[in-house]
């Protein structure tokens, strides 16, 4: 369609007016305007939906960033989830892409893809609690398996303060490898086989072909995936919330991220805090971190690209 | 048999890793499943013994006495309506943004795409106030609306990819024949974009089905809770009574239907998602 043609333009005007305009208006009202409202609230001391609001300027932010040690821990945890989690997930996903894209059988390929994706379709609450069953030091499957293999020495209290972050991370990695694998494999499948043929004649190993042909050609999808992971990981909530059967108490500080801390501050659970201005400040910091990391990630991929080509 | 080649060692190594990963995944699923038939005492006795008798007691208990059936019905209703609503809202918009230029169209597109990155927690508090103001807290309408509006950005993103991949000749022909924009969209574009609409519906359905954080804030009445939230309140109640067996059954009841659904639609889903993302 030629978008400049007057005839079409007129005919589409009403269509745009009745479809796009209202949806955009709703979207702005329910998702964009609230960001502004959060920013506004974050300048107030506000102890509950019915309480009065006291203007305090940026003091919520200075407390959040410089005084509140629990919040600082949750920022660090959020960054650990995104960075450590990202490195593990993408390293494993790349390795699996390497192996699976070399499968001859399409059926086996599809089956493994499907199997590893399943955790992404399951309620985070079910996975959070299921994973703690698995890691239960007394009757969980992991320690039982370790015992059965006669490796008693590597048994650990997986849910103790010391290991709980790693346990949480293992769940997140296990889930998301399956997600990104689907994307990587689809991208790898689009590479024309002819590109591999001459390398094969030269006797290149599958690993060599993977690193020199496949990886550079799926770079786009890797960069999209990294951005998606940044967005996903900051939002992670249910897994953490339901971990250790979470319901009996607030989730331990060791595994809390900003998103969970914000909920606890704003809406409370065991001990409602209802510090709404303060929690709004957390929300703004959360959003800024997502934007900042997304920007950095995109810059990183762009610069390496220009260096290489 | 193929000869082992030294230069292929990374492949062998990764094969072992992949195999372990798969075995682990299958094994823990089986363990969860088998344990859900045990009594709490049997669960504590270790994993290697099978249940002394295979009964559905645990399942009956969580479904009936703890209301899991109700949560499921709620989720089915809420998620189905929300998914339909998302498609009704996003399909025409995606079409417009993929095909037409109008004042501010790049800006509108950018706003929608940026919405994918907004963490719902950032807007928790204002949203709560807005929803309270329009009396939609603790209502099906409210949660359906929130699911729909928060899913719109990603649905649009996926659908734009599809609309861009459809050739425009048919649509042009229809317009030359005097069809209105609405007719061209409904009669020509919609049927052609069907695979895209199906896969974005599946995506929205699955993501909303497992949604937890919005439900946690906007639904507190027991009889309106969705499945994720219901399972969460089940955890609270069952850990107090020490009924771990019931909890295993609850988890299985949440996991199995979504897994079966996913397996049934996996083909559409995987190809749809990757095609949509690749193109936009």
B119–A248: do the CB atoms touch at under 8 Å?
A: no
Residue A31 neighbours by CB under 8 Å, 6+ apart? B115, B118, B123, B149, B150, B153
**A87-107 pLDDT, tens per residue?**
999 999 999 999 999 888 889
pLDDT confidence of residue A7: 61
Tell me: pLDDT of A306 over 50.
no
Question: Chain A contacts of B175, Cβ < 8 Å?
Answer: 1, 7-8, 11
| A 176-235 → B contacts, CB under 8 A | 177, 182-183, 186-187, 190, 205-207, 221, 224, 231, 234-235
State residue A304's pLDDT score: 54
- Interface residue B108 vs chain A (CB under 8 A): yes
8 Å CB contact of B240 and A248: yes
Least CB–CB distance from A49: residue in B27, B129, B266 = B129
pLDDT digits (tens, 9 = 90+) for A45-54: 988 777 788 8
Hey, which residues 57-76 in chain B have their CB within 8 Å of chain A?
none
Residue B132: exposed, middle, or buried by beta-carbon count in 10 A (0-12, 13-18, 19+)?
A: middle
Condensed to tens digits (0 to 9), the pLDDT of residues B165-215 reads 888 788 888 888 888 888 888 888 899 888 889 989 999 999 999 999 999
Give residue B103's Cα distance to chain centre: 34
Distance of alpha carbon B66 from alpha carbon B209, whole angstroms = 20
> A95: which 2 tokens?
């390795």
Q: How far is B57 from chain A (nearest CA, A)?
A: 20
**Residues 65-94 in A contacting B (C-alpha not used; CB under 8 Å):** none
- pLDDT (0 to 100) of residue A272: 58
Any idea where the domains of chain A sit in the sequence?
Answer: 68-308
What are B120-149's pLDDT values in tens digits?
A: 999 999 999 999 999 999 999 999 999 999
Examine the pLDDT at A248 and tell me if it is beyond 70. Answer: no
Please determine, for residue A2, whether its predicted confidence score (pLDDT) is greater than 70: no
Closest to A214 in 3D by CA, of A180, A246, A190: A190
CATH 1.10.3720.10 is the classification of domain A68-308 = yes
For A63-74, give one letter per residue: b (16+ CB within 10 A) or e: ebeeebeebeeb
Work out the pLDDT band at A5, boundaries 50, 70, 90. Answer: low
- Token pair, residue A210, equals 């993977």
CA distance B18 to B6: 19
Give bridge partners of residue A44 from the DSSP assignment: A55
Average pLDDT (A197-218) is 89
Which residues 196-215 on chain B approach chain A with CB closer than 8 angstroms? 206, 209-210, 212-213
pLDDT band at residue B62 under the 50/70/90 scheme = confident
Instruction: Pick the most confident of A28-37, A131-140, B50-59.
Output: A28-37
Do residue B255 and residue A30 have CB atoms under 8 angstroms apart? no
Question: Per the CB < 8 Å rule, is A12 touching B97?
Answer: no
pLDDT (0 to 100) of residue B243: 84
Whole-number mean pLDDT of chain A?
A: 88
Q: What is the pLDDT of residue B99?
A: 84
**Minimum CA–CA partner of A102 in chain B:** B11
- Residue A145, pLDDT score: 87
- Tens digit of pLDDT for each residue in B63-84? 888 888 999 999 999 999 999 9
Q: Is the dihedral of CA A278, A283, A286, A288 positive or negative?
A: negative
Q: Is A105 on the interface with B (CB under 8 A)?
A: no
pLDDT value at A1 more than 60: no
Kindly state the tokens that stand for A266: 């704003």
CA distance A10 to A13: 5
CB atoms within 10 A of CB A254: 17
Q: Please state, in angstroms and rounded to a whole number, the distance separating the CA atoms of residues B85 and B157.
A: 16
Q: Strands A44-46 and A53-55: what pairing?
A: antiparallel
Residue B234 has pLDDT above 50, yes or no: yes
Dihedrals phi, psi of A45, to nearest 5 degrees: -95, 120
Least confident range from A163-167, B86-90, B177-181, B257-261: namely B177-181
> Residue A278, SS3?
helix
Residue A274 has pLDDT above 60, yes or no: yes
Nearest to B125 among A102, A242, A266 (CB): A266
Using the beta-carbon criterion (under 8 Å), do A27 and B112 form an inter-chain contact? yes
User: Is residue B262 within 8 Å of residue A118, measured between CB atoms?
Assistant: yes
Any B CB within 8 A of A8 CB: yes
pLDDT band at B57 (very low <50, low <70, confident <90, very high): confident
**Tens of pLDDT, residues B96-111:** 999 888 888 899 999 9
Which pLDDT belongs to residue B271? 73
Which of the residue ranges A24-33, A240-249, B46-55 has the most confident prediction, judged by mean pLDDT?
A: A24-33
Per-residue pLDDT tens for A24-42? 999 999 999 999 999 999 9
Q: Domain residues of chain B, as ranges?
A: 6-54, 58-279
Is the CB of residue B173 less than 8 Å away from at least one CB of chain A? no
Q: Which neighbouring-strand residues pair with A55?
A: A44
User: Could you tell me what percent of chain A has a pLDDT over 90?
Assistant: 55
pLDDT of A307 reads 43
Architecture of domain B58-279: Orthogonal Bundle (1.10)
- Tell whether B159 lies on the interface with A, counting CB pairs under 8 A: no
């Amino acid at each position: 369609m030629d978008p400049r043609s007057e005839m079409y333009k007129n005919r589409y005007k009403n269509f745009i007016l009745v479809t796009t305009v209202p949806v955009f208006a709703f979207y702005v009202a329910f998702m964009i305007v609230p960001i502004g409202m959060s920013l506004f609230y974050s300048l107030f001391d506000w102890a509950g939906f019915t309480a009065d609001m006291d203007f305090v300027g940026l003091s919520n932010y200075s407390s959040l960033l410089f005084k509140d040690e629990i919040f600082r821990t949750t920022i660090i945890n959020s960054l650990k989830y995104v960075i450590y989690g990202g490195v593990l997930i993408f390293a494993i996903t790349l390795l699996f892409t390497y192996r699976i894209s070399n499968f001859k059988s399409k059926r086996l390929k599809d089956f493994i893809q499907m199997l590893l994706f399943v955790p992404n379709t399951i309620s985070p609450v079910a996975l959070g609690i299921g994973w703690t069953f698995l890691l239960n030091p007394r009757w969980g499957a992991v320690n039982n398996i370790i015992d059965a293999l006669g490796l008693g020495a590597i048994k650990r209290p997986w849910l103790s303060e010391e290991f709980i972050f790693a346990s949480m991370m293992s769940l997140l990695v296990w889930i998301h490898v399956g997600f990104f694998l689907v994307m990587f494999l689809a991208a790898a499948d689009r590479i024309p086989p002819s590109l591999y043929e001459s390398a094969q004649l030269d006797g290149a190993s599958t690993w060599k072909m993977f690193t020199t042909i496949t990886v550079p050609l799926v770079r786009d999808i890797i960069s999209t995936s990294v951005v998606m992971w940044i967005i996903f990981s900051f939002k992670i909530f249910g897994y953490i919330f339901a971990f250790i059967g979470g319901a009996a108490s607030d989730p331990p500080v060791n595994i809390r991220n900003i998103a969970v801390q914000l909920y606890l501050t704003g809406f409370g659970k065991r001990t409602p805090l209802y510090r709404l201005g303060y929690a709004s400040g957390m929300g703004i910091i959360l959003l800024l971190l997502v934007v900042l990391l997304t920007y950095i990630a995109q810059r990183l991929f762009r610069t390496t690209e220009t260096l290489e080509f | 048999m193929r000869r082992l080649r030294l230069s292929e060692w990374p492949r062998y190594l990764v094969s072992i890793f992949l195999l372990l990963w798969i075995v682990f995944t299958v094994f823990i699923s089986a363990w969860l499943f088998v344990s859900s038939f045990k009594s709490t005492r049997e669960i504590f006795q270790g994993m290697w013994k099978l249940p002394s008798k295979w009964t559905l007691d645990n399942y009956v208990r969580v479904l009936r006495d703890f209301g899991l059936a109700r949560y499921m019905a709620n989720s089915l209703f809420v998620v189905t309506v929300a998914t339909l609503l998302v498609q009704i809202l996003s399909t025409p918009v995606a079409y417009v943004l993929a095909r037409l230029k109008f004042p501010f169209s790049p800006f509108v597109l950018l706003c929608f795409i940026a919405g994918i990155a907004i963490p719902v927690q950032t807007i928790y508090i204002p949203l709560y106030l807005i929803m309270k103001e329009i009396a939609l807290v603790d209502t099906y309408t409210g949660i359906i609306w929130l699911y729909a509006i928060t899913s719109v950005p990603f649905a649009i993103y996926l659908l734009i990819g599809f609309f861009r991949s459809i050739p425009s000749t048919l649509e042009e022909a229809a317009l030359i024949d005097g069809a209105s924009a609405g007719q061209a969209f409904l009669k020509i574009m919609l049927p052609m974009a069907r695979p895209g609409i199906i896969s974005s519906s599946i995506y929205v359905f699955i993501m909303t089905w497992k949604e937890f954080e919005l439900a946690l804030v906007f639904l507190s009445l027991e009889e309106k809770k969705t499945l994720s939230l219901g399972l969460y309140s089940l955890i609270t109640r069952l850990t107090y009574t020490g009924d771990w067996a019931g909890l295993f059954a609850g988890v299985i009841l949440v996991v199995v239907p979504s897994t079966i659904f996913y397996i049934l639609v996996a083909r559409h889903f995987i190809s749809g998602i990757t095609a949509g993302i690749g193109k936009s």
